[in-house]
Every structure is written in structure tokens, then in C-alpha cells.
Amino acid sequence: MAPTMLGVVLLVFLLFNWVGGDPAYVLAGKISNQEQIDNIRRQLGVDQPFYVQLWIFIKQILTADFGASWSTNESVSHILATRLGPSLTVLVPLLILQTIIAVGLALAVAYVRGSLTDRMVMIICTIGLSISILVYIIVFQYVFAYKLGWFPVQGWGNDFWENLIKYASLPILIGLTVSIAPNLRLYRTFVLDEINQDYVRTARAKGVGENRIMWIHVLRNASIPIITNLMAELPGLLLGSFLIERFFSIPGIGREVILAVERSDFPVIKAITVYVAFATITTNLLADLMYKAVDPRVQLK
Amino acid sequence: MPIDTALNPSASLVREVQHTISPGLWTLAWRRLKTDSVAMVSLAIVAAFILLMVVSGLGLVAKDWAKEVGINYAPPSWITLGAADAPTPAPLPSGTGEPTHLGPTPGSAFNSTVVDPLADVINELKGTKAADSAVSASAAVVDENKVVDPLADVMKDIRSGQANAKDVPAAEERRATLPFGGDKWGRDIIAKTIKGSETSIFVGLAAAVVAVFIGTVLGAFAGYYGRWVDDLLNWFYSVFSSIPYLLLILAVAAVLQQKGTFTIVLILGLTGWSGVFRLIRAEYLKHKGREYVMAADALGASHGRKMFLHIFPNVSHVVLVQLSILTVGFIKAEVILSFLGFGVPVDVVSWGSMLNEAQNELILGKWWQLVAATLAMATLVTAFSLFTDALRDALDPKLKGRSGH
Amino acid sequence: MDAADVALDPLLQIRDLRVTFRLDKHSSFEAVKGISFDIPKNSTIALVGESGSGKSVTSLAILGLLPPENTIIDSKSQIIFGGRNIVGMPQAELRALRGADISMIFQEPMTSLNPVFTVGFQLEEVLHLHVGLRGAAARKRSIELMAEVGIPEPERRIDMFPSQLSGGQQQRVMIAMAIACEPKLLIADEPTTALDVTIQKQILDLIAALQKKHQMSVLFITHDLAVVGEIADRVVVMRNGEIREQGPAKQVFENPQDAYTKALLKCRPQIDRRPARLPVIDDFMSGDGRGPRDVQERTRGLNPGDKVVLEVKNLGKSFFSREGLFGKREFKAVKDVSFSLAKGKTLGLVGESGSGKTTVGLTLMRLHEATTGEALFDGRDILAMSPKEFMQYKRRIQIIFQNPYASLNPRFIVGQILTEPMQIHGIGRNAQERTELAFELLQKVGLPEASFYKYPHEFSGGQRQRIAIARCLTLKPDILICDESVSALDVSVQAQVLNLLQDLQEEFSLSYIFISHDLAVVKYISDQVMVMNEGEIVEIANSDEIYRNPREPYTKRLLASIPKGWHPGQARA
């Protein structure tokens, strides 16, 4: 865990301080104020040897103080703190709904495996997956918000419930449309893997009904890869919805990343990259622990 | 043949080998694949797209995609137009182009000739926007699009450059309709889509080759040698995989200031190898312990021989399947990146940049570019995915022979 | 089938059972070809056959457990139980039958139990389903059942997960589940094949005892006639989906009518005899069907003057598993093993799983690195050599693995498989000479020359093992390590491969280290036998001597577990 974190720090450092080069060069034409640029160079220690620059970077990470954004002068830590809430408002309900629906459908489809229904659902999933998420967003926003007026075209307020009900519902709907197909396909293979195991034959030989086999015996086993998979995806989801955030002007982390990339706002990208990576490493560790908790076979080893 | 060989095995060997060698596993997999009609149709579609890419890359088709052959937003010719609606070939004077998208709408310029079914909606929209007081950050699509479309100015430059250079058809020559409509500047959507396909497929394939190569080589070394080699490469992998993929791409895109088709190939390839690495490493780990590799070891085969001659052919199907999965993934990623303006440069068209334009056009009711890009992409990606699934089934050794009873 | 010996009121009747599997759109495979037999009440029926005989398919058909997607059971087939036909019975009725009136246990207890539920949960589930017991009552009954099948400390083990139990205990749990509802018929599908020989004996005894106690019938499916000799009342012999012979055990064992049955009985090495060649299936299936007569006995054993080719001293091998950040735990797989191998002789290495016998073989090949000890070959310690130096010796010691499906590279044609080692070691002047040598060896191991151009997947298990043997012979080794080399093969094929190994030993004066868990096979082929347990040598002696007169208690226990097969005069029914 610690070596991985160090690796991430090194990677990000190399990327921005070495590949990225001198901020004066990057910012040329973006900030006209020479004094401001000098300030930034001093802050990063551009003229100092590499290890000093690295140490400055590590200090920034540890103190969560990345200075100010190059383009808005807002402090980076403040940006991060205020953008997390809107992201989670969309993501948490999305994650919960998506998991429930995908698992339910996966079991149902696996139950009729090999049938016409199964094949049709899989083909629909494949076709659905082949359309870019951009198209879903463009079309859904156009049809449901512009034309039908069921949802606001975009926006975000200050009240949590207003945000959740009014502004987040169409983004969540789009998120579901996009995410259910791949998850359904994945979970279906998890379930099918289990259905072919010997213990399912034993359960049948005991006279256990197909429903109970599915919901008790198979689901309990299939939940192990499903949970680990979910945990592994968690931090990625935070950014995965960046397109949605951008289209609907939701002031979340994902939108912030895109804005930062557009403006070459390195402090913001650096901070988000490092912290999201740390979050990933932590959830991976948690997933590992959780895996040990749910799978009795692992404890022995 | 057995009689021949029995009589004089050594003499006729060379020829015999060519004549009598049994079908290998690849041949058998191909035979299985051939019986699968879905797979063959998908393969044909994928092959057609790749052929299109090559032909277009050689400049045999769609070479003149940038030529403004029709009027601005020329509708598809199969849309029936009432006599009154027939647009007079009176395009906007080239050079002025579109200042912004919703300001003085291009639609309004047409209003005299073409009935814009969305005119009301747009007007209403603008009204709603103004009324929506809760939204402070969003400030309507218009502003947002200004940020989004940093290309507008550049595009204008390029266009005027082209105009000065040569052959902008005279206004009279511009056609009122085009087979699948025209874009903002009156360029033929079909040619544009072909050119866009070339870019997107090339980027997807090339990036997949880069990523699969890196992932396979590193995975093979890690899985085969184990110990500190594995520890080191695994650390490298976990560093890469702990940064969410899209974030990594965006970070690299932010750092690399120059844009270009090869840059995007490198970005995608250099960041996308970790999944392949994990799979190939696991395969090598598994095969290293297999008895046929131990037998090769016992016979005195060198590490290189075991890794590449013995194990690699046995994991090559995984590599192939990964290649086609990643191609699909990278095509999608390229579309998103180009859409955001971090992908291909402005003078190159791809499905992503087409979608970017289409987003604004849709509001004006000009849906054909959106449909064209979506259709092309969905057809290819669906075919590619179905083919990948069939390929995986055909190569899966578990399906070989009867289930043992 | 003669009606006379069939009980008047059978528990279960199978009539004209025909099962076909659809392989793909165009082809199908008939696994069971219209068989009929009865299972009488309160008796044990053995269903015997080699792989592909259709025995397991038959047993799964009785419970309606064949995969419905690709199985076609002929509509005229009948499986009559309690006056009703199981074929085509509605699922709900079938479920009521399963686990209650007819229950089943399987070959792999580890995978047959659900890994994420406790043993207690799985036992209570069946009690709840069929008897309606719940809660404390179900738990009490489960503990009773576990005690009945001989699981020690059932109160503690009931809350364990299957992975926390040994293989034998897992199979006992399966049996407990199967007898929980007092079934009338217990189907046991190769229940002991995956278990060690001592555990096999215990499980067999348990099944026999439970059969008597509960007055139930047992359908015992096995590939090994010897296993059922002691417990079967009737025997049904199947081959390629057809019944070859059926009748009372006494008749089948003492006076078999069918040539195939005779072959099955004779092909397997017997503890008390050592024919120069084992009879093989063709000896019976062709000619008059009586098999070979006047077979000479072979004598085996070490002689004082035998030349020693390999001397192993204090061999030890430990595996280390990482524990925590820096700590590691040592597991001693082989401890202080010393022996010598004589030229042209066979050293048998027997032991149960985990005894370290395979590790000894792999360590000698340097496929594992030895922790301690030395192995003197021509006076040089091959374990201490540099890898480069060892290359010279590598070709002189070769190994044949257990699984003929895994030991040949599936992407090579047989020609490549055979010429590659010669190429590596520079045997033969050019490709043509190597090819000729390969053809010669194919002939030697009894394969047609056309095999040269084929891929391994086109061969049967026995043929593949011949290819593996030929591959070793390309290097003209002095020592051949056979690691369970015949264990995965059917009895009839096993005999052929054993004969081949003996022929080659005579011709090239090869020395074998023959590793196996099968005591009868080891006895047959070995001059000297070394018994191992938990990484140590228990006993080492001449083969006849050790079987006649074992000194150590462990050896005695091991030998006592060998299935005795049929003994005249043991007739039960």
C-alpha cells in the first residue's frame, strides 16, 4: 500500500514537473501577470534540484495545501472540498440503483440462460454499449429536458433535496442507462460461473428448488466477485460521471477536472489525481479485507 | 499418406509435412467460428470498416471531405421538401461562419427559406434559461458552449485558409441537398463520416496494439519470472491501475500540450496496458506450473524458449481477444477525448469531433451529423463486440471436445 | 438379461434408457444406448465402467440432473420408481423425490459442498426441505447425523465451513446430507476416487454399514471393480453406453461371461501375482475371449550385485510462505530422505497425498530447488551443479507426468514435440536424422507413423502418455521418473502402458522411480518399494518383502486399506 502510494506520487510528480515542464512556459498566454508566474515558479521550486521539488510536492500532499488554482486563484483544497458533495449526490443513488437493478437482471437472465430472451437481452446490451455515452447524454438532454421539459436542462442549487430530486434525476437516469448494460453482462458471467459449479448440482440433488438455488446458493457465492468488482470501481465512478457533470453543469469533481485540463490548471489536476489514487488504493485494501470477510475459503490461507 | 511415409519416411518428409499436418487449434477455432453466422456477419462488417479506413487513408475515397459542396446545413436529400421550402442556394458568405451557436442562430438566417421546426423551442429555451434563477453557474448552454468549443476560432482560420488556397466552389455550385445532409459549412456528411471513421478506427487499433504489446511483454516477464521481477512489475502495475483510467488520460493530455493523432495513440496506449498486464501475468503464472512447461524445463529448454515458443502460443488467444476488446474501448475513449477537445487536432475529423458539432446542431434541428456519427460508430462497435464474444467462445479451450463423463 | 435373478419387487427399474447429448447444431453423441437394469430393495448394485461408458450419465438421469439445455432422453425410456416414471416427471414432483427418497453423493466432496455456507446450514437445509425440521430441532438432528457418519466433535464442526474440513470429513458430510431423510436409494458416484486409500477404505466401510442399518439400496458407480468386490450384491458392467454384463456379484467375479468383464478383472495388477506381461483388453476381445493363458510370472527385487546409478543422501525440501511483511513460514515437504536406485531396476515410491513423494521426484529433476542433501549421479552431486553443468545430466534423467492432457504442448504437433528435445541437446546431425529418430520412437511406443503430423488433442489419454514416454526416450535417459504416470488412465489402458514401460526397461536397461498412490500398481512394477508419510521415509524394502511382511504400523495400515476385490466364499445375498 505504502509503496504504491509513493509510486503514484512519483508518477504524478514526473508527469507534471518533468514532462509538463516549466509553468512559465505552460502558462504563457494564459496568465499575463509576470509577477504571478514568478510566484508560482517560486512556490514549485522550479529552479531548485529535483529532490527539493519532490519534497515540496510531498509536503503539499501531506498538508493538503496545493496553493491556489492557476486560473481562478481559488484555493485547491477549497475546490476539492466543495466539489465532492455534488458528485456524491449523483453517484451514491446511481451506484445503489445500478447495483440492485443489474444484479436482479443478471440473476433473471442467468435463470433463463441460453433462451431467446437471454440472447436478446445480451444483444441489446451489446448494441446499447456500442453507442457512445455522449450520444445518450445529448439525446436524453434534448428529448427529456429541452423538448419534453420533464427535467431542467441543467443547473444546481444549494438545497440537497432540490438537487437530488430536481437536478440529479436526469443525470442519474442517464447514468443508469449507460451503466446497466456493462454491469449486467459482467454479473451474468459471475452468476453463470457459479451455476456450473458442483455445489449447485448437490443442491438440486437435495431437492432444493431453482429459486432458492438462485437466490441463496448462487447469489451468495456470486456476491463475492460482485462486491470486489464494485469496490474496485468506486473511485473510477467519481470521475466516470464527469461527462454528465459537465453537460448538466453539476459543480462536481469530474467537471472540475475537465475545466482544469482545459485551462492547464496543474495544481487542481495534480491534487485530484493524487487524492483519487489514494482513495483507490484505500478502497482496494478495503475490498481485500471485505473479500476475506465474505469468502470463508480465504481465511484459511 | 501413411503408406508413403511408412515406405520411405525420411525422403518424402518435407512434402509430407505440408500435406498431412493435422489442423491446429487455430484452424479448429476458425472452423468453429465459421459455423457461427453472427460472428461471420460481424467479421465482415469489421473487415469492411477496416478496409474503408485503409482506402480512406490512402486517399482513394473521401479525400475531398473538407470541400464545401453543399449549402450550410444542407438537409439529407431523402427528406422530402415542399416546393416552397426548397432552399435557394444562398449560403452565408464564407469566412463569417458561425460566431456562436445560439446567438444570432444560423437557424434564423434560414428562417426565410427553410422552416425550422425548432425555432420555437429555441426561443422558448432561451426564455426558460433566463427565468431559471436557481442556476447561476450554468448560465445557459450558450456560455457553456463557448468554453467547450475552443476550436471555433481555429476552425475559422483553417477554413478561411482553405478558402484562399483553392477551389471553394462558387456559391452557385453548392447543392441544396446532400445524400446524408451537410454540416455547418456544407461539407458532405458521408465523406466526413468516412474520414472520421478512418481517424477513430486508426486511433483505436493503433492504441490497442501499443497497449497490448506493453501489457503482454510486461505480463509475460512478471508471470514467468516471478520473485523480484514480478514484485517490481506488479508495483508498477498497481501504481498505474490505482489512478482511474480516464483521470490518467486527462492528466497526460493536460501535460502534453501538443495535439496530434499519434499523441492520442500514445496517450491511450501508454495508459491502457494494465488490464492486459494483469491477464497475461495470470496466464503465464498458470502455464508456468503446467506439466508441459515443466516437461520442457526437464528437457533442457531455455527460458526464452519456454516463454515464447511454449507458453506464448498457448496464451495468444487471450492476447487476441484483449486486442479486440481494447480496440473497442479505445475507439470509445478517443470519441470522448476528441469531443472534449483533448483528442485529435482541429483539422482532423473524428467521430468525437463530429459529435461535438452535432451537439449544437441538434438544438437547431440538424440531426443528421449526430445520426451519421452514431450509426457508424454503433455499427462498428456492435460488430466488433459480437465478433469478440464469438472469438472468445471459439478459442475457449473449455468448449473443446465433449464434456467428460 | 435373464429375468430369473432379478428380484420380484425391485425398488427401481430402468428400461431402455437412451440419453443423447447435443454437441452443436449438427452433431450429437449418444452416451447411453438403451440400457435396462433393476435395483432391488435393500441391496448394493455396482455400476462399473471406464470413462465414456455412460455410468455417470445413467446415475444423473435417475435424479433428473442432466443439463436440460443439451440432453435428450428418449421418450420411450423409463426409470420406474415407486410405480412412477421419473423420465418426464414434473420438476416439482422430482424435487420432492430428490434428497428424500433418492439421494446422491459425488466424486469431489470439496466442490460439491457450497463453500460459503457452514456444514450445519447445508445439513439443516435438507432437513427443513423434506422433513420440516427447523431451528434447534434441525441442529440437534444435524449433529446426530454428523456423529452417525463418524465426524469427531460434531458440535464444533457443525459451524465450520467445508474448507475447514479434511477431504474425508467433507465426504462424510455429503453422506450425512444424503442419508438425512432416510432415502430408499443412495447413489454414490465414484465417492472414493478423489480420496486417499486409507480414507477410501473408511468411506467404503461407512457406506456398507449405513446400507445395512437403514435397509436402503445403494447404487455404487465406479471405474474400479476391486473397490466394489467387498460390498456389491449385484454388478452391472457398462462400456460405451451399453451394458456388457450384469448379474449377482458372485457370478460376475467368479464366472464372468463377457470378454470385456474378464479383461477388466484381469488387466488390473493384483497384489499377489506378477505376470511378465499384464493381459490387455485386446487379449480378451479378440480370439476366443478367454484371454492369454500360460503367462509367466516375473520376479522382481534387488540383487546384491546391482550397480547403483543414483544415490540420494539426506534430501530435504522446504517451501516458504510469506507471513506478514518480512516473516515467512517454513513447510517441510521432504525431510532427510536417502535411498539408492539400481541400474535397470524400479524403485516404487508410495504414499498418500501430502507425503512428499512427488516433491522428491521434482527435486531430483531440479524442477524444485533442494533445500538440503545431495544426489550422486556417476559420483557427481547433480543438485549442487551449476545450471550449465547440469544440462549434461538433464538428458539422462527424465520425467513422465501424471496428466497426459497437460504434459504435451497443445500447440505443437507430435513431430515437434519429439524433435525439440533432440534439437536442444544436439542429438542427430540434422533435421532429417532427428525426424527419422522420431519415427523410430513412435514405432517403439506403439503409435502409427502418421501420429507425427498430428496434434496432442487428437489422441486418447493412453496414446498421449505414449507420446510423453517417446519424448523422454529421445534423450536416451538412464533414469525415468514416472510421477503417477498411469494413475489418470483407465484400467485397460493402464495395463498397456505398464507393459510398455516394462518392455522399455528391459530393452534399454532403464532405471525407474515410480511414484504412485496405487499400491497394487507399485507392487507390480517395482523391485524395491519406499513408503513415505509426511515427508519422511517410513519403510524401504524389496517389493515382495514389504507387501508380505510390513514392519512399520503405517505400512500395515496402508496395506490393509487396499481394496481386496472379490474373495470366493464371501457371497452375501
Residue C489 sits at the vertex; the CA angle it makes with C484 and C495, to the nearest 5 degrees, is: 95
State which residue of chain B sits closest to C60, comparing Cα positions.
Answer: B405
Q: Which tens digit of pLDDT belongs to each residue from A90-100?
A: 888 888 898 89
Smallest CA–CA distance from C51 into chain B, residue: B405
In angstroms, the CA A62 to CA B316 distance is: 44
**Identity of the residue in B245, B254, B359 whose CB atom sits nearest the CB atom of A264:** B254
Closest partner residue to B246 (CB to CB) among A15, A132, A240 is: A240
Task: Kindly state the cell numbers that stand for C438.
Answer: 522420431
Of A206, A210, A221, the CB nearest to C116: A221
Number of Cβ pairs < 8 A linking chain A and chain C = 75
* CA–CA dist A155, C83 (Å, integer): 73
Please give chain C's pLDDT, 573 residues, in tens: 444 444 457 889 999 999 998 877 778 888 899 899 999 988 999 999 888 888 889 999 999 888 887 888 888 888 998 888 888 888 888 888 898 899 999 888 888 999 889 999 999 999 998 888 888 999 999 999 999 888 888 899 999 888 888 888 899 999 999 998 889 999 999 888 878 888 888 889 899 999 999 999 999 998 888 888 888 889 999 988 899 999 998 888 888 888 888 888 888 887 777 887 888 777 777 766 666 666 677 778 777 778 888 888 889 888 887 766 666 778 888 888 898 888 888 999 998 888 888 889 888 888 888 888 888 888 888 888 888 888 888 888 889 888 877 888 888 888 889 999 888 888 888 888 888 889 988 888 888 888 888 888 888 888 888 899 899 888 889 999 998 888 888 887 888 889 888 988 988 889 999 999 888 888 888 988 999 988 888 898 888 888 888 888 998 888 888 877 776 655 444
Residue A267 near residue A76 (C-beta atoms within 8 A): yes
A89, A168 Cβ separation under 8 angstroms: yes
CA of C110, closest CA in chain A: separation in Å? 9
* Residue keyed to cell 418426464: C88
pLDDT given at position B112: 34
Residue with cell 455522449: A134
The answer to whether the Cβ–Cβ distance between A199 and C125 falls below 8 Å is no
Which residue type, as a one-letter code, is found at position B28? L
The answer to whether the CB atoms of B253 and A261 lie below 8 A apart is yes
Q: Are B72 and B90 in contact (CB under 8 A)?
A: no
Chain C residues at the A interface, defined by Cβ less than 8 Å, are 63, 65, 69, 91, 95-100, 103-104, 106, 108, 111-117, 125-126, 129-130, 161, 163-164, 174, 177
How far apart are the C-alpha atoms of C114 and C125, rounded to whole Å?
12
**pLDDT value, residue B130:** 41
- Per-position DSSP letters for C318-350, written without gaps between them: EEEEEETTTEEEEEEEEEEEEEEEETT-EEEEE
Q: How far is A208 from chain B (nearest CA, A)?
A: 24
For the record, the C-alpha cell of C110 comes out as 470439496
Average pLDDT of chain B to the nearest whole number? 71
- In the three-class reduction of DSSP (H, G, I as helix; E, B as strand; rest coil), residue C100 is classed as coil
Task: Kindly report the nearest CA distance between residue A215 and chain B, in angstroms.
Answer: 27
**Nearest in space to C347 (alpha carbons), one of C373, C322, C378, C310:** C310
C-alpha to C-alpha distance for B353 and B358, rounded to whole angstroms: 9
Chain C contact for A294 (CB, 8 A cutoff): yes
**In this structure, are residues A262 and B341 in contact, taking their beta carbons and an 8 Å threshold?**
yes
The whole-angstrom distance between C486's CA and the closest CA on chain B is 15
Of B294, B298, B310, the CB nearest to C394: B298
Of A131, A142, A281, the CB nearest to B374: A131
Query: How far apart, in Å, are the Cα atoms of A171 and each of A93, A166, A235, B335, B391?
Result: 11, 10, 18, 20, 35
Give the mean pLDDT of B260-271. Answer: 86
Q: Which residues contact A201 (CB under 8 A, 6 or more apart)?
A: C65, C106, C112
Say if the Cβ atoms of B22 and C413 lie within 8 Å. yes
User: What is the pLDDT at residue B218?
Assistant: 92
Give the gyration radius of chain C's Cα atoms: 26
- Is B297 at the interface with chain C, CB within 8 A? yes
C-alpha cell at A23: 509553468
| Beta bridge partner(s), residue C322 | C328
Looking at residue C166, its pLDDT comes to: 85
Q: What is the per-residue pLDDT for A3?
A: 82
Give me the DSSP letters along C256-302: --SHHHHHHHHHS--TT--BSS---HHHHHSTTSS---SPPB-----
Q: How many Cβ atoms are within 10 Å of C212's Cβ, its own excluded?
A: 11
Region A78-82 average pLDDT: 80
Of B328, B344, B179, B119, nearest in space to B356 by CA: B344
Closest CA to C214 of C59, C43, C46, C98: C43
**Closest of A42, A17, A30 to residue A73, by C-alpha:** A30
Model confidence at B251, pLDDT cuts 50, 70, 90, reads confident
Amino acid at C162: P
Q: What is the pLDDT of residue B79?
A: 65
B134 touches C at CB < 8 Å: no
A5-63 pLDDT, tens digit per residue, is 888 888 888 877 777 666 666 666 666 677 777 777 776 666 777 777 777 778 777 77
Phi/psi for B186 (5° steps) reads 85, 25
Residue with cell 535397470: C344
Task: Locate the chain C residue with the closest alpha carbon to A216.
Answer: C117
Minimum Cα–Cα distance from A127: chain B residue = B382
Percentage of chain B lying above the pLDDT 90 cut: 5
Q: Select from C568, C569, C565 the least CA-distant residue to C266.
A: C565
Q: Give the pairing type, strands C78-81 and C84-85.
A: antiparallel
The residue of chain B with its CA nearest to that of A10 is B239
What does pLDDT average to over chain C?
85
For C37, C48, C80, C115, the CA distances from C34, given in Å and listed in that order, are 10, 17, 15, 37
Q: Which of A205, A208, A300 sits opposite C63 (nearest CB)?
A: A205
Report residue C494 as a C-alpha cell.
493402464
Which residues are bridge partners to C219 per DSSP?
C45, C187
Residue contact A133–B336, C-beta within 8 A: yes
Q: How many whole angstroms separate alpha carbon C177 and alpha carbon C120?
A: 10
Choice between B211 and A238, residue whose per-residue pLDDT is larger: B211
Nearest CA in chain C to B15: C453
C-alpha C138/C-alpha C155 separation (Å) is 13
Which residue, among C27, C449, C484, C485, would best test binding to B if mutated, counting the most B CBs under 10 Å from its CB?
C449
State the pLDDT at residue A20: 67
Separation in Å, CA of C396 to nearest CA in chain B: 10
Residue B307 sits at the vertex; the CA angle it makes with B304 and B313, to the nearest 5 degrees, is: 130
Q: Residue C372 pairs with which residues in a beta bridge? A: C316
Preferred mutation among B10, B27, B38, B291 to probe C, highest tally of C CBs within 10 A: B291
Looking at residue C513, its amino acid is: I
Neighbours of chain A (3+ CB pairs under 8 A): B, C
Q: A5 Cβ partners below 8 Å, 6+ apart? A: A277, A278, A281
Average per-residue pLDDT in chain A?
Answer: 80
Contact (CB<8Å) A15/B255? yes
Contact (CB<8Å) A217/C114: yes
DSSP states of C215-265 = T-EEEEEES-HHHHTTT-SEEEEEETTEEEEEEEHHHHHHS--SHHHHHHH
Residue B251 touches chain C, beta carbons under 8 Å? no
For residue C403, give the nearest of B21, B291, B297 by CB distance: B291
CA torsion sign, B345 to B348 to B349 to B354?
A: positive
pLDDT digits (tens, 9 = 90+) for B227-238: 888 888 988 888
Of C394, C395, C450, Cβ closest to residue B20: C450
B35, C24: Cβ pair inside 8 Å?
yes
Among A111, A195, A199, A211, most C C-beta atoms within 10 A, so best to mutate, is A199
Of C399, C409, C439, the CB nearest to B310: C409
Cβ proximity of C44 and C208 under 8 Å: yes
Count CB atoms within 10 A of the CB of residue C85.
13
Which whole number is the average pLDDT over B196-220?
91
Instruction: Name chain C's partners: 3 or more CB pairs within 8 A.
Output: A, B
Q: How far apart are CA C71 and CA C55, in angstroms?
A: 15
Question: How many interface pairs between A and B have CB atoms less than 8 angstroms apart?
Answer: 158
| Rounded CA Rg of chain A | 24
* Integer angstrom CA distances of residue C109 from A199, A201, B226, C163: 9, 12, 32, 10
Q: CA A17 to CA A43: how far, in whole Å?
A: 13
pLDDT value at A233 more than 60: yes
Pairing of strands C346-350, C511-516: parallel
C31 vs B contacts (CB less than 8 Å) = 405
What residues contact residue A62 under an 8 Å CB cut-off, 6+ apart? Answer: none
Asked if C406's CB is within 8 angstroms of B300's CB, the reply is no
Residue in chain B nearest C388 by alpha carbon: B300
Inter-CA distances, C222 with C110, C196, C227, C279, Å:
19, 15, 8, 21
The alpha-carbon radius of gyration of chain B (Å, integer) is 28
User: Nearest CA of chain A to the CA of C10: how many Å?
Assistant: 22
Distance CA B255, CA A273 (A): 13
Q: Which chain B positions have a beta carbon within 8 Å of C410's beta carbon?
A: 25, 292, 314, 397
DSSP output for chain A: -HHHHHHHHHHHHIIIIIIS--HHHHHTTT---HHHHHHHHHHHTTTS-HHHHHHHHHHHHHHT---B-TTT--BHHHHHHHHHHHHHHHHHHHHHHHHHHHHHHHHHHHHTTTSHHHHHHHHHHHHHHHS-HHHHHHHHIIIIIIIS-SS-SS---S-HHHIIIIISHHHHHHHHHHHHHHHHHHHHHHHHHHHTSHHHHHHHHHT--HHHIIIIIIHHHHHHHHHHHHHHHHHHHHHHTHHHHHHTT--SHHHHHHHHHHTT-HHHHHHHHHHHHHHHHHHHHHHHHHHHHH-HHHHT-
Per-residue CA distances from A299 to B375, C165, C296 (Å) = 50, 13, 56
Residue B399 in this model has a pLDDT that exceeds 70: no
**From the list B2, B290, B299, which residue is nearest C424 (CB)?**
B299
